[in-house]
Structure 1
Amino acid sequence: MFALGRLLVIGFLVLSVVYICLSLYSRAVRRGKLEKEWDEEIQQGDRETFVEAGLREYDGSLRRKLILGVYIVPLTVISVIIYLTNFH
């Protein structure tokens, strides 16, 4: 039982680091696309206001929520493996 607890704690910490890195990377890519869109197409008004509005929209998007799969997929796989190994 202690081994499972240790696995869960260490796994959660590792997945948290991966989630944070992936989230920051995805946000940076989105910021770059918004800045490029403003430079190539819009060029009217304030660039920072446009980028911030786009990032607020991104924060509520499905892509942002799909990044939570970093937690869900590995924990589901580990749970299935443990179940099949011990109870099947």
Structure 2
Amino acid sequence: MFALGRLLVIGFLVLSVVYICLSLYSRAVRRDKLEAEWDEEIREGDREAFVQAGLKEYDGSLRRKLILGVYIVPLTLMSLIIYFTNFH
């Protein structure tokens, strides 16, 4: 039982690092796309305000929520493997 607890704690920490890195990377890519869009098409008004508005919209997007799959998919697979190994 102690081994399972240790596995879950270490797994959660590793998945948290992966989630943070993936989240920061995705946000940086979105920021770059917004800046490129402003440079190519808009060129009027405040560039930083446009980027901030786009990032605020991104914070509520489906893509941001899908990154939480970093936690869900590995834990589900691990649970299924443990279940099928022990009970089937």
- Tell me the TM-score normalized by structure 1: 0.99
Q: Could you tell me which residue of structure 1 aligns to residue 51 of structure 2?
A: 51
SS of the residue corresponding to residue 44 of structure 1 reads coil
Q: Could you tell me which residue of structure 2 aligns to residue 24 of structure 1?
A: 24
User: Hey, which bits of structure 1, 4+ residues long, moved more than 3 A?
Assistant: none
Unaligned runs of 5+ in 2: none
Query: Among the aligned pairs, what percent are the same residue?
Result: 88
Unaligned runs of 5+ in 1: none
Aligned counterparts of 1:10 and 1:81: Cα–Cα separation in 2: 18
Q: Could you tell me which residue of structure 1 aligns to residue 62 of structure 2?
A: 62
Q: Could you tell me which residue of structure 1 aligns to residue 73 of structure 2?
A: 73
Query: Which string of whole-angstrom CA distances, capped at 9 and with x for unpartnered residues, describes residues 38-67 of structure 1?
Result: 000000000000000000000000000000
Q: Could you tell me which residue of structure 2 aligns to residue 33 of structure 1?
A: 33
Q: What is the aligned-residue RMSD (CA, Å)?
A: 0.3
- Tell me the TM-score normalized by structure 2: 0.99
Counterpart AA for 1:34? L
How far does residue 87 in structure 1 lie from its aligned partner after superposition? 1.0
Q: How many residues are treated as equivalent by the alignment? A: 88
Counterpart AA for 1:71? Y
